[in-house]
Structure 1
Amino acid sequence: MLLTILLIWLKFLACAVLIGIAGTKLTRYADIIADKTGLSGSWIGLILLSTVTSLPELITGISALTLADVPDIAVGSIMGSCVFNLVILVILDYLLRGQSIYHRASLNHVLSAAFGVVLIAFAGLSILLSSLSSFMNFTFIGAYTPIIILCYLVAMRALFVHEHSRVEQSVKRIASRYPDITLTRAYTGYLLASLVVVMAGIYLPFASTQLAEVMGWNNTFVGTLFVAIATSLPELAVTIAAVRINALDMALANLLGSNLFNIVILAINDVIFLKGALFSYISPIHAVSAFSAAVMTGIVMIGLIYRPRSQVFMNIGWVSLSLLMLYLFNTYVLYIHH
């Protein structure tokens, strides 16, 4: 029995390590693409990086619903990832010594954070309403799915218009930081790293289901905590790599953009889930993670607008400390209901 548990943990960790390594490569190649195309780091982080670093959540969700038939893991990995992505800001704040990241970062991130609050909170409300009645559901999908997709498209349009002037200015940059690497090579490396993320994401829900069985945990707890952390490793790798190349805005845009795309993944999952409206087949406890993520995103917005300089504990400020406390609270609530 002990050997079986060990092997399952090794499978889970192997998926996590592959996702983490590929995520680091993604960051480097995305930065090269940004450098050679003249796009801003924020725009690359918001669109190119956030989409690909959310691939594990997308692939894990599809695999969990179509192959493993564990909807709680599919939704738990999304909601848990939204919460964990915001905890990565605490790590970022700790790594960047000196001024708070909320003082250094661009104020332009407030718009994407605001859209994040709306989308995540709406998803949480939909989960609660779906557990109470069926009026939120059509025949095969939830009424919330087209609304989520529409809101995401509106958000992308608004963010594109908002970033457009900054992108035009960044095109005027002169010196390339990667003269020895061609754009073709950057795109090739980006696609190969994405493929590794996809392959690891396909197997992840199977390892997670086995983990839940041998440890005696339910799928909601495993999906929201362990699978969410594993699928968020690209975001963590991107954040650490961004610190090394002094690309704070790219890292922040990636985390906030990933949360936006994560909610769209819920809509995609609802479409491919053939039994009915997805939220009707999951535990309503997922709403706790959704509302935790929405509140945490609101705190990030406050930090970006208030721009605090002071540090409270171990080189992190009160904004990051609040994010960490909310994450621990969310984890505790999920644990006592596991």
Structure 2
Amino acid sequence: MSGWTVWVQFAACIALIGIAGVQLTRYGDAIADKTGIGGTWIGLVLIATVTSLPELASGISAVTLANLPDIAVGNVLGACVLNLSVLALLDLLHRRESIYRGASRSHILAAGFGVVLLGLTGFGLLTGDVASGWVLGHIAFYSPLLLLGYAVAIRAVYRYEATHVEEFTEAEPDQYPGMTLRAALLRYFVAAMVVVGAALWLPFVGEGIARQMGWSQGFVGTLFIAFVTTVPELVVTISALRIGAVDMAIGNLLGSNLFNLLVLAVDDLFYLPGSLLAAASLAHAATAFAVLMMTGVVIAALFYRPQKRLFRTIGWPSLILLGIAGLNGYIVFLHG
């Protein structure tokens, strides 16, 4: 691809994701309103799954076609760091109050499961050589645990939502009276397909940009590809915030991180030479524990619900999130 062609394709991907992302959040909010499931679960499962498919596609491609386990692991964990950094951006954009004050406490449940799965991932990275015999065929011990942990997390949040939302959906006025549930589901599906198509195209365009710029493979895998595959989460989350669906926005970010850790298990399934985390660099453990610390900060903020904001613009939890993300980026840069 020529210099200008690759940038035109990059801009087209961003435009498609932006337009479809706005519709995705609108119809996701309509589904939550008409089913009574709750915005947290809708963001955690429906929207987070759609926006995390680029990580899944690029990860499978990295471990099968390219045989690059470091890029697959770096992409997943780097995307988790960026997702929590987007949470700090939401806090900055949410002018009325700190985003942590009005958020549902069900996010603590999702974040808590994220801590468990992140700890398991870090354990797998640090003990890769020692636990090389703990495999079933070529699948490492942590992959079934990640799959089980994700399933339990989704079920637990759903059950929590079911017992804490309104007893009947008619208890609150319908915010979308002119739209049926079937229409909302159909339009959500169409918007999701546009987001998925553009998002799957985006990493390959990013690879072309990286090749022209002469960037290293490690830098591209851990930071650049992670950034471009996080664009769907960014667009969809900001769109959800603009329509007032704060829980959907936060649920999308935390749900995307849970799904990303599920992607590691799927990548391990496709990585035939052996355990994926055993083949990856130990440097990724730093990123895993950075995400672990950032998730802990989010849990503390959701419990404490800080009222004061520095210069009336951003809360202290968000500054800590950005600080940890910056430190992790510097460490990745030094390893690169």
Give the alignment's TM-score, normalised by structure 2: 0.91
Counterpart pick for 1:239 among 237, 240, 243:
237
- Asked if 2 retains the 8 angstrom alpha-carbon contact of 1:73 and 1:205, the reply is no
The CA deviation at 1:272 is: 1.7
Pick closer, same or farther for the CA change 1:140–1:5 going to 2, 3 Å: farther
The CA deviation at 1:98 is: 3.4
Q: Compare 274-283 and 100-109 and name the one that shifted more.
A: 274-283
Counterpart pick for 2:253 among 252, 255, 267:
255
- Asked if 2 retains the 8 angstrom alpha-carbon contact of 1:56 and 1:231, the reply is yes
Post-superposition CA distance 1:234-262 (Å, at most 9, x none)? 22122211222211111111211111111
Specify the SS of the correspondent of 2:97. Answer: coil
The CA deviation at 1:334 is: 0.9
The CA deviation at 1:178 is: 1.8
Task: Show the counterpart of 1:296.
Answer: 294
Pick closer, same or farther for the CA change 1:227–1:133 going to 2, 3 Å: same
Q: Compare 305-314 and 111-120 and name the one that shifted more.
A: 305-314
- Asked if 1 retains the 8 angstrom alpha-carbon contact of 2:33 and 2:169, the reply is no
Using the alignment, how far apart are the partners of 2:239 and 2:24 within structure 1? 10
Total equivalences in the alignment: 336
Q: Compare 259-268 and 309-318 and name the one that shifted more.
A: 309-318
Specify the SS of the correspondent of 2:79. Answer: helix
Task: Show the counterpart of 2:49.
Answer: 51
Counterpart pick for 1:101 among 99, 102, 125:
99
Pick closer, same or farther for the CA change 1:283–1:21 going to 2, 3 Å: farther
The CA deviation at 1:84 is: 0.7
Task: Show the counterpart of 1:324.
Answer: 322
Where structure 2 has 5 or more consecutive residues not aligned to the other structure, the ranges are: none
Using the alignment, how far apart are the partners of 2:195 and 2:314 within structure 1? 31
Using the alignment, how far apart are the partners of 1:124 and 1:18 within structure 2? 35
Task: Show the counterpart of 2:170.
Answer: 172
The CA deviation at 1:53 is: 1.7
Q: Sequence identity, in percent?
A: 49
Pick closer, same or farther for the CA change 1:249–1:327 going to 2, 3 Å: same
Using the alignment, how far apart are the partners of 1:89 and 1:169 within structure 2? 30
Question: Map of 1:93-242 to 2, 5 A cutoff?
Answer: 93-130=91-128, 134-167=132-165, 169=167, 171-242=169-240
Where structure 1 has 5 or more consecutive residues not aligned to the other structure, the ranges are: none
Using the alignment, how far apart are the partners of 1:305 and 1:167 within structure 2? 19
Using the alignment, how far apart are the partners of 1:84 and 1:136 within structure 2? 31
Task: Show the counterpart of 1:84.
Answer: 82
Which amino acid letter does the alignment assign opposite residue 218 of structure 2? T
Using the alignment, how far apart are the partners of 2:282 and 2:12 within structure 1? 31
Using the alignment, how far apart are the partners of 1:173 and 1:42 within structure 2? 18
The CA deviation at 1:185 is: 2.6
Which amino acid letter does the alignment assign opposite residue 74 of structure 2? G
